[in-house]
């Protein structure tokens, strides 16, 4: 949120009386501990002991209107309703404040004001602060992806005829950024970059029109969080917990779920943590299966960057010279990121090759983070085709059930369809599958040739002893989508068809007999892969 500004001379009487009430509540005697007051442009927050009380200001800023007591009561109730979906332990109640501004009575009636009662948490647990201190781990990112994906799965879709599904709703939100920023930036270079972003955004919007319509009709527009940057996520008991949903604007909440996850991904990109950004996106997509959403991902990444650029520009006009320069620098960095998201296209097709336990998925995870790629896993998509969760036991025998020849053919066809769409969207794609048969590999080589993108076979090899050890360990842990054990590996070892002909020129070999770091720092392998992609 933006910091509080000095009250204007013509400030409303209601706001003055609110200020009087807040000051009174901060005096000793109203709470077990004297509150600490924090203020933003739209609220006061009183922090006392383990509790926090948020009082909305009687303001009308155009995009929000808290000017009446009835409105403030409504939006306090909305804040409680919306945030309890994600943080029920943090959002406790809406309390009435009776009495008078000079002598308020928390819990008293008739109400002269309302406050959202929250459980206080340490600010050091906010993800943006933890990231700055190097305290965010890949496990945190995976948990966050699961939290967001699980949240989105619970949300009912907007009706197809809803205004939230209409194209003008998308366009209006984007255009507002370009209307505001030119009033705040005057340097020729800034305006030139802004125009370039505007033009690229308009082109992306036009190209995405059919997919916007398709996704709205398919139910991907839902009542989301609306403001899911890292500063609105706190780690509690080692679990990322989003809070502070947008309560004042339905239009900013009822959005495509890809717009929601784009905000968090963009925030990580802007904080120069691309590996975590791509890890988050891939983990979310693997859970939801919403790879189609990548067709509008660039548009929404740029939109979210432009929102932050606008806020930085507004802040620059409100602060002293030193801080204004910092905000302008931030604004320019967001503009550059928006431009990069819209124009950077490096489509490529990488398929893995190797026996169960060789480390194909480990390689793919490292590669997607290094390359900013989208990974598709055969083990996950195979189960999705049959309505199974990634870690579910299919109870299928080798060559039967979901592992029959027909099921395998359907799985590879599904992988190819997904890869085609992601390549068309401009992303490098990693297809994580065994690819032990020549025909399976050839169909993907032909796809890369058809779409005129680089094609690489990442062949991941390990010794028989290492394969057996890893498969035994994986079976005990039960935390992998693959069901292949030692017996399956031995059968596949006999049935595999070696690389030949054109495949050899496209192949990059990674020998994976060590731990993850050995694979991560296989410099020769990664240099060779980069050369193939170049």
Q: Kindly report, residue by residue over 401-458, the tens digit of the pLDDT.
A: 888 989 999 999 999 999 999 999 999 999 999 999 999 999 999 999 999 999 999 9
Instruction: Report residue 486's pLDDT band, with 50, 70 and 90 as the boundaries.
Output: confident
Instruction: Report residue 2's pLDDT band, with 50, 70 and 90 as the boundaries.
Output: very low
pLDDT digits (tens, 9 = 90+) for 508-520: 999 988 888 888 9
Residue closest to 30 by CA, chosen among 120, 91, 111, 98: 98
Residue 483 in this model has a pLDDT that exceeds 70: no
Instruction: Report residue 186's pLDDT band, with 50, 70 and 90 as the boundaries.
Output: confident
For residues 194-208, average pLDDT: 95
Q: Which residue has the tokens 């049959």?
A: 386
Q: Are 493 and 505 in contact (CB under 8 A)?
A: no
Q: 298 and 192 in one domain? A: yes
Q: Which residue has the tokens 């490529």?
A: 348
pLDDT of residue 320: 64
Q: What is the DSSP string of 420-468?
A: HHHHHTT-EEEEES---SHHHHHHHHHHHHHTT--EEEEEEE--HHHHH
Q: 322 and 388 in one domain? A: no
Give the pair of three-digit tokens for residue 437.
Answer: 């048969």
Residue 433 lies in a domain: yes
Question: Which 3-state string (H, E, C) describes 346-404?
Answer: CCEEEEEECCCCCCHHHHHHHHHHHHCCEEEEHHHHHHHHCCCCCCCCCCCCCCCHHHC
Instruction: Report residue 11's pLDDT band, with 50, 70 and 90 as the boundaries.
Output: low
Share of the chain above pLDDT 90, in %: 73
- Any idea what the CATH number is for the domain that residue 221 is in? 3.90.1200.10
Residue 321 in this model has a pLDDT that exceeds 80: no
Handedness of CA 95, 101, 105, 108 (dihedral sign): negative
pLDDT digits (tens, 9 = 90+) for 325-374: 888 899 999 999 999 999 999 999 999 999 988 999 999 999 999 999 99
Instruction: Report residue 10's pLDDT band, with 50, 70 and 90 as the boundaries.
Output: very low
Residue 514 lies in a domain: yes
Which range has the worst mean pLDDT, 283-287, 328-332, 392-396?
Answer: 392-396
Instruction: Report residue 15's pLDDT band, with 50, 70 and 90 as the boundaries.
Output: very high
Residue 1 lies in a domain: no
Tally the domains of the chain. Answer: 3
Q: 371 and 312 in one domain? A: no
Q: 133 and 110 in one domain? A: no
Q: Are 94 and 74 in contact (CB under 8 A)?
A: no
Q: What is the DSSP string of 143-189?
A: HHHHHHHHHHHHSPBPPTTSGGGSHHHHHHHHHHHHHHGGGT---HH
3-state secondary structure of 32: coil
Domain residues for the domain of 244 are 127-343
Instruction: Please say which residue of 98, 120, 142 terminates a domain.
Output: 120
Residue 479 in this model has a pLDDT that exceeds 80: no
Give the pair of three-digit tokens for residue 259.
Answer: 């717009």
Instruction: Please say which residue of 104, 120, 136 terminates a domain.
Output: 120
**At a CB cut-off of 8 Å and minimum separation 6, what does 433 contact?**
351, 352, 360, 377, 378, 411, 412, 415, 440
Separation of CA 36 from chain center: 33
Give the pair of three-digit tokens for residue 42.
Answer: 């739209």
Instruction: Report residue 319's pLDDT band, with 50, 70 and 90 as the boundaries.
Output: low
For residues 213-218, average pLDDT: 96
Residue 268 in this model has a pLDDT that exceeds 80: yes
Q: 430 and 282 in one domain? A: no
pLDDT of residue 7: 46
Residue 445 lies in a domain: yes
- Residue 56: CB atoms within 10 Å: 23
- Any idea what the CATH number is for the domain that residue 496 is in? 3.40.50.300
Tell me the C-alpha distance between 226 and 252, whole Å.
Answer: 6
Handedness of CA 42, 46, 51, 57 (dihedral sign): negative
Residue 6 lies in a domain: no
Q: 200 and 100 in one domain? A: no
Residue 247 lies in a domain: yes
Q: 335 and 204 in one domain? A: yes
Instruction: Report residue 78's pLDDT band, with 50, 70 and 90 as the boundaries.
Output: very high
**At a CB cut-off of 8 Å and minimum separation 6, what does 211 contact?**
292, 295, 296
- Any idea what the CATH number is for the domain that residue 100 is in? 3.30.200
Instruction: Please say which residue of 87, 120, 153 terminates a domain.
Output: 120
Q: How many helices (H) and strands (E) does the chain have?
A: 20, 15
Tell me the C-alpha distance between 55 and 66, whole Å.
Answer: 10
Separation of CA 394 from chain center: 30
Q: 524 and 396 in one domain? A: yes
Tell me the C-alpha distance between 435 and 431, whole Å.
Answer: 9
Residue 285 lies in a domain: yes
Q: What is the mean pLDDT of the chain?
A: 92
For residues 233-242, average pLDDT: 97
Tell me the C-alpha distance between 452 and 35, whole Å.
Answer: 64
Q: 97 and 141 in one domain? A: no
Q: 337 and 360 in one domain? A: no
Beta strand 239-242 with 113-119: parallel, antiparallel or unpaired? unpaired
3-state secondary structure of 286: helix
Residue 248 lies in a domain: yes
Q: 483 and 451 in one domain? A: yes
Give the pair of three-digit tokens for residue 445.
Answer: 């080589």
Q: 383 and 323 in one domain? A: no
Give the pair of three-digit tokens for residue 352.
Answer: 């893995």
């Amino acid at each position: 949120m933006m910091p509080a500004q000095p009250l204007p001379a013509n400030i409303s009487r209601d706001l003055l009386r609110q200020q009087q009430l807040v000051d009174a509540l901060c005096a000793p005697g109203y709470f077990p501990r004297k509150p600490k007051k924090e203020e933003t442009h739209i609220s006061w927050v009183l922090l006392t002991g383990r509790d926090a009380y948020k009082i909305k200001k009687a303001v009308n800023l155009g995009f929000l209107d808290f000017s009446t007591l009835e409105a403030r009561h409504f939006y306090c109730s909305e804040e409680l309703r919306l945030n309890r979906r994600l943080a029920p332990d943090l959002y406790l109640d809406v309390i009435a404040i009776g009495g008078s501004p000079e002598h308020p009575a928390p819990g008293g009636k008739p109400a002269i004001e309302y406050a959202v009662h929250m459980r206080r948490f340490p600010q050091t647990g906010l993800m943006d602060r933890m990231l700055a201190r190097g305290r965010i781990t890949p496990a945190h990112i995976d948990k966050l992806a699961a939290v967001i994906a699980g949240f989105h799965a619970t949300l009912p879709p907007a009706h197809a005829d809803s205004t939230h599904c209409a194209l003008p709703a998308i366009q209006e939100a984007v255009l507002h950024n370009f209307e505001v920023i030119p009033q705040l930036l005057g340097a020729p270079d800034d305006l030139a970059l802004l125009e370039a972003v505007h033009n690229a955004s308009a082109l992306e919007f036009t190209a995405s029109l059919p997919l916007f319509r398709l996704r709205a009709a398919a139910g991907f527009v839902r009542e989301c969080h609306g403001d899911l940057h890292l500063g609105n996520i706190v780690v509690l008991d080692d679990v990322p917990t989003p809070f502070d949903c947008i309560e004042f604007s339905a239009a900013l909440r009822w959005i495509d779920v890809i717009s929601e996850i784009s905000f968090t991904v963009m925030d990580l990109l802007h904080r120069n943590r691309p590996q975590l950004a791509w890890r988050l996106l891939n983990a979310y997509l693997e859970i939801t299966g919403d790879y189609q959403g990548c067709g509008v991902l660039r548009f929404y990444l740029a939109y979210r960057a432009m929102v932050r650029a606008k806020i930085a520009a507004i802040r620059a006009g409100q602060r002293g010279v030193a801080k204004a320069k910092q905000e302008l620098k931030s604004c320019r960095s967001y503009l550059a990121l928006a431009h990069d998201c819209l124009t950077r296209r490096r489509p490529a097709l990488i398929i893995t090759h190797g026996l169960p336990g060789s480390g194909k998925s480990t390689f793919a995870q490292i590669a997607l983070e290094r390359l900013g790629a989208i990974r598709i896993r055969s083990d996950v998509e195979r189960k999705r085709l049959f309505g199974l969760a990634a870690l579910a036991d299919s109870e299928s025998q080798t060559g039967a059930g979901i592992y029959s020849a027909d099921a395998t053919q359907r799985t590879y066809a599904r992988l190819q369809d997904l890869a085609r769409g992601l390549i068309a969207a401009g992303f490098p794609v990693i297809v994580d599958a065994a690819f032990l048969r020549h025909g399976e590999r050839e169909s993907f080589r032909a796809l890369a040739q058809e779409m005129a993108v680089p094609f690489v076979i990442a062949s991941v090899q390990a010794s028989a002893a290492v394969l057996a050890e890893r498969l035994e360990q994986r079976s005990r842990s039960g935390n992998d989508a693959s069901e292949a054990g030692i017996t399956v590996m031995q059968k596949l070892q006999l049935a595999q068809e070696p690389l030949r002909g054109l495949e050899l020129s496209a192949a990059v070999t990674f020998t994976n007999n060590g731990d993850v770091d050995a694979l991560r720092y296989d410099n020769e392998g990664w240099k060779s892969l980069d050369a193939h992609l170049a």
